[in-house]
Amino acid sequence: MLDALEQAASSPLYNVLSKIAHGQLKNRSSGFQNSVVRASTDWMYMWEEIQGASIIVELDWKKFDRERPAEDILFFIDVVISCFFPQTSREERLLSAYRICMIKALIERPFISDGGLAFTMDGMVPSGSLWTGLLDTALNILYIPSALLDMGFTSARAVPKCCGDDNLTLFYRDPGDTVLNGLRSRLNKFFRAGIDEEDFFIHRLPYYVMTDQTIFHAGTDLKRGTSKIIDKARWEEFTGEI
């Protein structure tokens, strides 16, 4: 949940950077897709890029937020701060204070239990933060191109498109499944991704978009969520208006 301190200390930075990220939607080399809504004209730009790809890799990070080390989050914070150039001593102090507040909101998060026990967490992207979506996207853009470069793929040959921890990597030439599976192994090795084979999808032409809805049997108890009973559901294509 966004607290008052984070709202006051982060909004001035976030509002600027989120607009810049949105302005990169038409930039083929940019991976930031946070503001893309399929029901808007923004989807057209994304769809044009997808149609130009020879192959698409989709992967699912398990427990992505919980496995992110503090060092990576601190790197993101420093990148955010580096985007601003203070022109007065007051602005310099203010930017330094913004950095401290971001560290306390995203990294140094002490907890005090009802019994008086105090503890902190090492790393982990907090949910409900103003920065959660942008931070997850930035880490995806840090990790996936690093693995691609290790495989010999430059941004001219493969580009990830990320929105939080969701991502599609567009390859402009099909290198074959053996090479593509090297992306999964490198992400697991370098960034403790924990991506299983069933969570690594390779899509070839033709591409299309469809919407499925999950249907449970009448009387199914959904009070405790659906993650543990999803195998009992059936999926049907949604053809009406959403």
Q: How far apart are CA 220 and CA 30, in angstroms?
A: 43
Confidence label for 240 from pLDDT (cuts 50, 70 and 90): low
Contact at 8 Å (CB) between 22 and 41? no
Query: Nearest-5° angle of CA 198, CA 199, CA 202?
Result: 90
Confidence label for 1 from pLDDT (cuts 50, 70 and 90): very low
Nearest to 63 by CA among 135, 140, 125: 125
The beta strands (E) that lie in the chain are given as 55-59, 111-112, 118-119, 158-163, 166-171, 200-204, 212-215, 234-237
Listed range (102-106, 214-218, 219-223, 237-241) with the worst mean pLDDT: 237-241
What's the pTM? 0.80
Over range 53-77, report the average pLDDT: 90
Residue 10 CA to its chain's centroid (Å): 19
pLDDT of residue 108: 85
Over range 64-80, report the average pLDDT: 92
pLDDT of residue 241: 60
> Percentage of the chain with pLDDT > 90?
44
